[in-house]
Copies of this chain bind each other. A is one copy, B any other.
Amino acid sequence: MFSLEMSKEQKMIKDEVAKLVKNIVTDNANEMDEKREIPADGIQKAWELGASVSMVAEEFGGFGMEDSPITTALVLEELAYGDLAFAIQATLPSLVISPLVAMGTSEQQSKYLPLLCAEKYSAATLAINEATFGFDAVALDTRAEKKNGSYLITGEKCFVPLAETASCILVAAALEGKNQLFFVGKDNPGLKIGEKERNLGLNALETYKISLENCEIPAEDRLGGEQGCDYAKFLQKSRIGMAAIGTGLAKASYEFAMEYAKGRAQFGEPIVHKQSVAFMIAQMAYEVESMRLMTWNAASKLEAGKDAKREAYLAKFYTGEKTMYVTDCGVQLLGGHGYTREYPVERYYRNGRGISIIEGMATV
């Protein structure tokens, strides 16, 4: 079937998220960014909508709904349209929940899901990025090796959101040349939570460096147990997630800048009467459309039970470049005002660079 129209259910979910964003995110995003903090009650409200847990079985505390990558993409876009940091933090547990549901052993699911799917938001996080030049999510420097029935992990990770408060960290490491995911408990003596990072953007999102040195993990904490997990599949989903939040962010910049431009005059004429301004807006518009369609296209593949390797890769690649392009235009359209932190396009510009650089901050 080919259709670009949302189902009633999708529309309802999207609208609900949009309402939340409008009520508690949009107008507070600047303050969150300046104060480098997201109020817990906002996160809790988003959590209660169930974005991270809807597809988890009811026995584990989820809603038992069908897993729909497209619906999740709609939710992520909407959240990121409000604020990228908020979107990431609100859905952060899904970075653990989603692979756990898809690829965890039943023991792992029974052990972790009830904790993660509680009524109260409880941070769980993913450690995948590494602060090395040429970092590649498929060529990890962090290594795991099997020794005496457990795994020893060694490596440095950066950009681990909420590492300090998260109840557990899913760590990506290469095991015999194959990338795998491991649950690392916060009390593991081989794990060291490093300094809190300061970044170009996403200021409201606390991120940390962590280091693992011969960090010993019991065999049962390798995601998927003995046979491990399908890391490539995990990447597909997280790449689509990144594409979805990139779309939301770009849309926010596009819409704000367009509305601003409409009301702005210069040389005695509305600036939108100038082709250079109008064409920029047209281009931003169809790039946002393109980004969303690329995201949907990849998510649709997954939803149809097909492989989405190509589509997910291209969606992240494309949205990564275009988010930067669109958010740059957003600042440009506001001119000097766009350069100040009084207007959100400034924040969008900083956050805009993140989509291509960072891996695994959202998943469908």
Contact = CB atoms under 8 A, between A and B. Distances in A.
Contacts of A275: 274-276, 279
Interface in A269-285: 274-276, 279
A300 to B, nearest CB: 35
Interface in A204-259: none
A275 B276 CA distance: 6
Is chain A's interface secondary structure helix, strand, loop, or mixed overall? helix
A52 B68 CA distance: 70
Nearest to A277: B275
A88 B276 CA distance: 39
Interface string A11-39: 00000000000000000000000000000
A262 B274 CA distance: 19
A276 B283 CA distance: 13
A279 B276 CA distance: 8
A276 B278 CA distance: 10
A160 to B, nearest CB: 40
A12 B276 CA distance: 41
A274 B274 CA distance: 8
Interface string A275-304: 110010000000000000000000000000
A279 to B, nearest CB: 6
A250 B220 CA distance: 66
Nearest to A276: B275
Most buried by B among A274, A275, A279: A275
A275 to B, nearest CB: 4
Contacts of A276: 275-276, 279
A270 to B, nearest CB: 14
A261 to B, nearest CB: 14
Contacts of A279: 275-276
Nearest to A274: B275
Contacts of A274: 275
A275 B274 CA distance: 7
Interface string A85-115: 0000000000000000000000000000000
A274 B277 CA distance: 12
A227 to B, nearest CB: 41
A315 to B, nearest CB: 27
A276 B276 CA distance: 6
A275 B275 CA distance: 5
Nearest to A273: B275
A251 to B, nearest CB: 25
6 contacts: A274-B275, A275-B275, A275-B276, A275-B279, A276-B276, A276-B279
Task: State the 4 A-B residue pairs at the shortest beta-carbon distance, nearest first.
Answer: A275-B275, A275-B276, A274-B275, A276-B279
